[in-house]
Structure 1
Amino acid sequence: MDRKSRRTALGVFGVSTAALAGYTFRGGKKSEAAAQSPSRPATAFRAPGSRDARKLLNSWGIPQAGTHLTNDRKPGIHGYASATSVARGGAVDFHVSVDRPQKFTVAVHRIGRQQPSGTEPLASSPALDGHRRAIPEAAAGTGLIACDWPSSWRLHIPQAWTSGLYLAVFTAEDGYRGYTPFVVRDTGRRSDILVVVPFTTYQAYNIWPLNGRTGKSLYKGYKSPGNLGGAPERAAKVSFDRPYHHSGIPAWFELDAGFAQWAEGHGYDVTYASSIDLHQGRVDTSRYKAVVFPGHDEYWSKPMVDSIKKSDADGTHLAFFASNNIYFHVRLEASARGTAGRVVACFKKDNDPELDTTGATIRWRKVIDDGSLAEQGVIGTQYNGIVKTPVPLVVRKSDHWIWAGTGLRDGDELPYLVGIEADGYDPLMPSPTGYRRTLLSHSPYIDKRPDQPPNNLQSTCISENKHGVLRFAAGTFFWSLALMDKRLPSEQVGKVTKNLLDRMVKPAQQ
């Protein structure tokens, strides 16, 4: 999307980018079934922000008593993992900086269905010596900020651990605490559903250190002390060899965590991978009945796109539970130490100085002039705007099996569900070859971008080919959030999601 408008709408602060957006949601008309739903908010709903970080952490089984969230602008503790995912039986290193010398510990929790140990971590380090590590200067030309901190602790992943979404917790002796996520993968096991966690997009929005002087993301950088600029100051390359800004929890991480909790809580057979696994060829879509992208998954390399395009031939279903997916083309590069996939490059302009055979690192719909690589050709719809004020999702095609059991009728409204960014259908853009598309919603919203017509339409979409292979696109940021947040229409969204996944994991004739 337009970079200036995106910066305004999404921001950089806190657990969720909605913290800066400051959106208050308004509802609309509801059917009798919707109106009687216990999930219907009684008052205006505000999306999670930085002030809700502790509540989110508690919901993930990580108690916060006696601790303080790290903040880049004051002393604390920060760390990063040596990989976005690690296989069972493998090892991951944690690189930690403590702003003043003191002891600290690393604890590892799994986010998902409640573990037998309750809120106890699955692994913990001994007390470790903490030291302040250098913040590197941004590289000339690209703005790359890449740390070269020594390993503070190495975790060997037990073979018995379940594939999933994990959070490393760094706690300093003085009570300050930071975090970093990673995935434990098990690509050797066939599961019904593979969940792909969007680490490339996490890193694109990471502006560590957000200290008033140094940090850069693919959107922003400082043009003077305390004054964040925009595109002229941003980085063209960002590194996984650095913490995530402030507490270390990436922007919109709660979408992926919320889906993990919901899916495991409903008994689905799931395994997990990171977007880097998709890029590096560790994901074979034929091993899964469905591949699910629950979060904001905007930044894709060509190998990532190629890996899911073969899902047609594999008979594998795809589901995208957010919006603005497969939007920017990126290259993944090695770190200075030669570790593959540690740098995300996206110049966002036609004169990419490092152009290779995969094309310029610009929007996918512009890589080829005719727009044939637009995301709608994979997903069925595509990004079409920033939602100024979140609005209801307006139901369409209520006789479709996906709405079964919801009690909803055409024109009914699910309050507050269309927010942050929206997808819609563009008749001038490509469609998935061999698929029949059904638009499941018709939701008017006001586009926040000043250079665009204000009136726009969001569409939730499902496409099906002659073999019954499905592709689903929610078309809004708040779908996965609604699965766990009772202030949103959780009952109806949960039922639709269950209808979809049940159809995906079982043969159509059953």
Structure 2
Amino acid sequence: MRVLPLLLPLLAALVLAGSAPGSSSAPPRLLGLGVSNGGHPFAGDTRELATVSPNGDRLRDHAYFRFRLDRTATVETQVVATDEVRRPGEIVWDVRRMLPAGPHVIEWTPKRGIAARTYLVRFLVHGLHGGKRVYGFEAPRSHHLTSGLVVRILGVEASLPQRSYPQGGPATVSISTDARSVRIQVFAYAGTGMRDPNTNAFAITPSVQLDWRKHRNAPHLVDVGRSGTWASGLYFLRVTTPDGRLAYAPLILRPRRLGEHRVAVVFPTDTWQAYNFRDGNGDGWGDSWYIGGATRTIDLRRPYVEPGLPYRFHDWSATIATWLRQTGKAVDYISDDDLAAAKDGSELRNAYDLVVFAGHEEYVTAHAYDVVERYRDLGGNLMFLSANNFFWKVTRKGQTLSRVQLWRKLGRPEAALVGVQWVAGNQGQGEKPYVVEGASSAPWAFVGTGLANGSTFGGSGVEIDARAASSPAGIVVLARIPSAIGRNDAEMTYYRSSSGAQVFAAGALDFTASLGSPVVAQLVDNVWARLS
């Protein structure tokens, strides 16, 4: 019986020794982790980040993961594409090997055609006697900074330092690729040139080839010249390479001065960047506010992820640009930057009778909110052709946009301006049409459509708006999508303020995606005619 008290301290010591960091039962360690592409670094590459371009030219076709094992272990190496909207994290390459103690190199040769983006590299180290260490992140869907490595797949990227440029002014584009040559061409929603299938825009310049052999290791600025006689509008620079890589850079050509036409169409360039999944800091995660709350700031100068179009561009922007072209509307195209540059609401009111928000105007600075609200209070008319508008307060410092708080939580509910505000969202399941209920109270909206109360048209999208306690008095529901998302209705509305301003709101995110329907196009044209 006296032996037991003597054994307990000894057993405790053995347990502690066995779990010590240097003990044989502790999981093996990877030391000196690093990644390279074989000696051809691209601008921004570090010991933890390497750029690879798998096109068979032997320049940057491979990624090499280097480390040292402190003892024999099974090492599983995984390359992971992290989360994007509607696309969970995915392991794109996985190899498992038993390795002895010492230095090692694991080679990854990505397949041609792999998406151009950053990928996290995860290492799972299994000891011979159990235990595991993870270098990188715990699971593909964890939104944590990696302790492992990152590989950037380089296609071709194009970006402009500004969102808009004045008519007749110069513009430069930054291009990143390791192709030997590139071709640049400009497309617009005008003219009769070749149509680009990705943007539905038309070529307005010839394709110009540039020798790129001196610029294969870093981004390079190209002067694209002056816009000359081009009209205010939405343009795209398209960049292609001989091996099929493709990029676009959107450009708003604003008027030389506000008010060249009495209607302005605002494209949501801040929302475009807020939803841009391009990984600007090289941590393996897209710097998008659509992923979650981890990213609080975004760089407004980033190129868009492959192929360079803003997220859901076809749903939120391309259809209205095409409709404007087809109908020949005389308008000024402006960006969020231009709206924010207006001195005050009086300047905007002096310039325009109608301001149309063409897309998802979710992120708004205090100054822009003040300008638009004052514009309305001075009798300026507004059209909101999407949903979830004026939702987030953001601040801007230089080229950095920071998300602050929901405007409604700051005492400025968006319904007081827009008429409706966000009530629900989903991933697009079970979309339903609008049902007309305002044909008697606002017959002018439905002239020529063939619609009557109870008729259906259009569709909703992934987010919807409805009236709130802060909605202006006398607001009229033109159409409703009953139980559009759960028990929530989407409401298309119209109101006239005490200043005489008229405000229309579509109430559904993807409303303009239905502009190809003659009925929807006629309804929008009716509202446009009344408000302009």
Q: Structure 2 length as normaliser, TM-score?
A: 0.66
Does structure 2 retain, via aligned residues, the 8 Å contact 1:278–1:303?
A: no
Provide the residue aligned with 1:72 in structure 2: 117
Within 5 Å, give how 1:290-309 maps onto structure 2.
Answer: 290-309=354-373
1:190 aligned onto 2:260: yes
The 2-side partners of 1:394 and 1:120 are apart by 39
- Alignment equivalent of 1:439, drawn from 456, 471, 477: 477
Does structure 1 retain, via aligned residues, the 8 Å contact 2:158–2:247?
A: yes
Does structure 1 retain, via aligned residues, the 8 Å contact 2:181–2:209?
A: no
Within 5 Å, give how 1:12-51 maps onto structure 2.
Answer: none
Give the AA of the match of 2:359. Answer: G
Decide which structure has greater strand share: 2
1:315 aligned onto 2:379: yes
- Alignment equivalent of 1:327, drawn from 377, 391, 411: 391
Closer/same/farther in 2, CA of residues 309 and 467 from structure 1, 3 Å limit? closer
The alpha-carbon deviation at position 405 of structure 1 amounts to 2.1
- Alignment equivalent of 1:461, drawn from 478, 482, 493: 493
Provide the residue aligned with 2:413 in structure 1: 374
The alpha-carbon deviation at position 12 of structure 1 amounts to 7.7
Provide the residue aligned with 2:300 in structure 1: 240
The alpha-carbon deviation at position 477 of structure 1 amounts to 1.7
Give the AA of the match of 1:213. Answer: G
1:249 aligned onto 2:309: yes
The alpha-carbon deviation at position 124 of structure 1 amounts to 5.1
- Alignment equivalent of 1:260, drawn from 292, 317, 321: 321
The alpha-carbon deviation at position 150 of structure 1 amounts to 4.2
Closer/same/farther in 2, CA of residues 107 and 309 from structure 1, 3 Å limit? same
Cα-to-partner distance string for 1:154-190 (whole Å, 9 max, x where unaligned): 1233331100001111111222111110100005242
The alpha-carbon deviation at position 133 of structure 1 amounts to 5.5
Give the AA of the match of 1:397. Answer: G
The 2-side partners of 1:431 and 1:248 are apart by 38
The 1-side partners of 2:375 and 2:445 are apart by 21
Provide the aligned C-alpha RMSD in A.
2.7
Within 5 Å, give how 1:46-65 maps onto structure 2.
Answer: none
Provide the residue aligned with 2:224 in structure 1: 155
Does structure 1 retain, via aligned residues, the 8 Å contact 2:434–2:481?
A: yes
Provide the residue aligned with 2:278 in structure 1: 208
- Alignment equivalent of 1:397, drawn from 431, 435, 438: 438
Does structure 1 retain, via aligned residues, the 8 Å contact 2:495–2:504?
A: yes
- When Rg is computed on C-alpha atoms for both structures, the one with the higher figure is 2
Does structure 1 retain, via aligned residues, the 8 Å contact 2:378–2:499?
A: no
Give the AA of the match of 1:463. Answer: Y
Does structure 1 retain, via aligned residues, the 8 Å contact 2:349–2:378?
A: yes
The 2-side partners of 1:468 and 1:275 are apart by 25
Does structure 1 retain, via aligned residues, the 8 Å contact 2:354–2:383?
A: yes
Does structure 1 retain, via aligned residues, the 8 Å contact 2:170–2:227?
A: no
Does structure 2 retain, via aligned residues, the 8 Å contact 1:184–1:273?
A: yes
Does structure 2 retain, via aligned residues, the 8 Å contact 1:326–1:375?
A: yes
1:406 aligned onto 2:432: no
Secondary structure at the residue paired with 2:475? strand
User: Any stretches of 5+ residues in structure 2 without a counterpart?
Assistant: 1-81, 89-112, 119-152, 196-201
The 2-side partners of 1:69 and 1:267 are apart by 40
The alpha-carbon deviation at position 439 of structure 1 amounts to 1.1
Does structure 1 retain, via aligned residues, the 8 Å contact 2:435–2:455?
A: yes
Provide the residue aligned with 1:180 in structure 2: 249
Secondary structure at the residue paired with 1:250? coil
- The percent of aligned pairs where both chains have the same amino acid is 26
The 2-side partners of 1:395 and 1:81 are apart by 43
Provide the residue aligned with 1:420 in structure 2: 462
Cα-to-partner distance string for 1:209-231 (whole Å, 9 max, x where unaligned): 399924322243xxxxxxxxx43
Does structure 1 retain, via aligned residues, the 8 Å contact 2:191–2:204?
A: no
Provide the residue aligned with 2:183 in structure 1: 105
Provide the residue aligned with 1:169 in structure 2: 238
